[in-house]
Amino acid sequence: MGKVAVGAAVVCAAAVCAAAALVVRHRMQSSGRWARAMAILKEVEEKCGTPISKLRQVADAMTVEMHAGLASEGGSKLKMLISYVDNLPTGDEKGLFYALDLGGTNFRVLRVQLGGKDKSVVNQEFDEVSIPPHLMTGTSEELFDFIARALEKFVATEGEGFHPAPGRQRELGFTFSFPVRQLSISSGTLIKWTKGFNIEDAVGQDVVGELTKSMEKIGLDMRVAALVNDTIGTLAGGRYHNQDVAAAVILGTGTNAAYVERAHAIPKWHGLLPKSGEMVINMEWGNFRSSHLPLTEYDQALDVESLNPGEQIFEKIISGMYLGEVVRRVLSRMAEEADFFGDTVPPKLQIPFILRTPDMSAMHHDTSPDLRVVGGKLKDILEISNTSLKMRKTIVELCDIVATRGARLSAAGIFGILKKLGRDTVRDGEKQKSVIALDGGLYEHYTKFSACMESTLKELLGGEIAESIVIEHSNDGSGIGAALLAASHSQYVGVEES
């Protein structure tokens, strides 16, 4: 019996040793995997780095490209489009004005009653209309007839508080958020459709002419006074409330900037200089690119697989459409190379754009002790459960790296505009106040992004100048802004109301 007992004890001990060895090997493997995941994160952090010296290089490159784009057509990656808006609202505008905002599968019709200097916007109403899917790929006539009928119906509901001036034509500002070659303040030809529209016979046509034909057909007496995009609408809305507004930036699904340029500083402008001496420039800054931009392999892969490779590089690293996708691509690599989510790569994680920026923002802002929101998002969107607190913390850190890069580069872009305008320094001991009007869901809802952008801009400007540069949220530029531009470009400007 003694031998048997000893034998059993030896076998037992061997089994315990084997089990312990397995545990140790598993721990070593898992710590090896964790180290690999951390190495991937560290590399992303380094490649996304935006030290202040790099941001200054980006801002300088933005200024150089702005000069090049103003000098000649096609001279720069920045289109620097002449908007023909040479009269921004002053706040003195009076009367009833309409706006039409077409930029996606819905459009809005809007009216505002303006009361002049002391009363500003006395009254406003709007209505939203869905575009039937068949009209998005039909004919130009069908689409604009549908829009004209919706406008006619909206005009018919003009009630108390809205007073069209007797004997005057109603006037409309038209926000058309598709690529347009602007020909004047109230005309422009469609370059191409985006966002699911594909109406071939409208390409190359003047969109204001098309809308006007449809309105005339049903006897709707309304003049399109201004054709603008949403960024210029935001600039107009900002300027209406504050005459120190010098530029507008949209940070939403996409991104763009517009600003007020001195007309004589636009070499490619061959027309008569406007009376105001100013011209609004639509930068189309999403297409900016520079060797100084901190791009990673994830950005390059995203670009190659996109619908517009080589285009909109700046937009692809700072805007809401793409931030969540960059995070997804890094997590996917961590899952493949470091088994970050276990032995298999979660199938949902391999679906492009499944992780949206609002979800990334929710995870980034999670302050619960166990990062409950992060766990919930991983489960609901990617079907990944059983995540440890350590893993959740890593994901929050990744969100921070990607959002911080985008926010700091946005600030560098704004700094570039201020440099171009000479507002980055104190001139002759005078501090000129400059306001930047901002709009877009990314700026409005992703608090850590906007806070980081604003503090970075202060850092770039330095204490003294930072006091005279203000960022203001300018809400609904594409709606009210367009109506205000109809007012400032009205055919009745300078004609006293009888």
Tell me the catalytic residues: 195, 230
Which two tokens mark 6? 């000893």
Q: What's 478's DSSP letter? A: I
Q: What's 305's DSSP letter? A: T
What sections of 365-479 are H helices per DSSP? 372-382, 389-420, 441-445, 447-461, 463-466
Which class for 158: exposed (0-12), middle (13-18), buried (19 or more C-beta within 10 A)?
middle
Q: Yes or no: say if 78 and 89 are a contact pair by the CB < 8 Å rule.
A: no
Which two tokens mark 262? 């001195």
- Kindly give the pairing relationship between strand 180-184 and strand 278-282: unpaired
Q: Give Cα 226 to chain centroid, integer Å.
A: 23
Which two tokens mark 402? 């990607």
Comparing C-alpha atoms, which of 236, 240, 171, 109 is closest to residue 493? 171
CB atoms within 10 A of CB 105: 12
Comparing C-alpha atoms, which of 320, 380, 312 is closest to residue 353? 320
- The residue written with tokens 């306001």 in the block is 435
288-310 b/e (C-beta count within 10 Å ≥ 16 → b) = bbbebbbbbebbeebbeebeeee
Give residues with Cβ within 8 angstroms of 417, minimum separation 6.
62, 66, 247, 257, 259, 283, 436
Taking the C-alpha atoms of residue 340 and residue 343, their distance in angstroms, rounded to an integer, is 8
Taking the C-alpha atoms of residue 475 and residue 238, their distance in angstroms, rounded to an integer, is 8
Please compute, for residue 49, the number of CA atoms within 13 A of its CA located in the half-sphere on the CB side: 9
Helix pair angle (447-461, 389-420), 10° resolution: 40
Q: Yes or no: say if 466 and 449 are a contact pair by the CB < 8 Å rule.
A: no
Q: Which strand (E) or helix (H) includes residue 29?
A: helix 2-47
Which two tokens mark 447? 């608090």
Comparing C-alpha atoms, which of 249, 283, 268 is closest to residue 435? 249
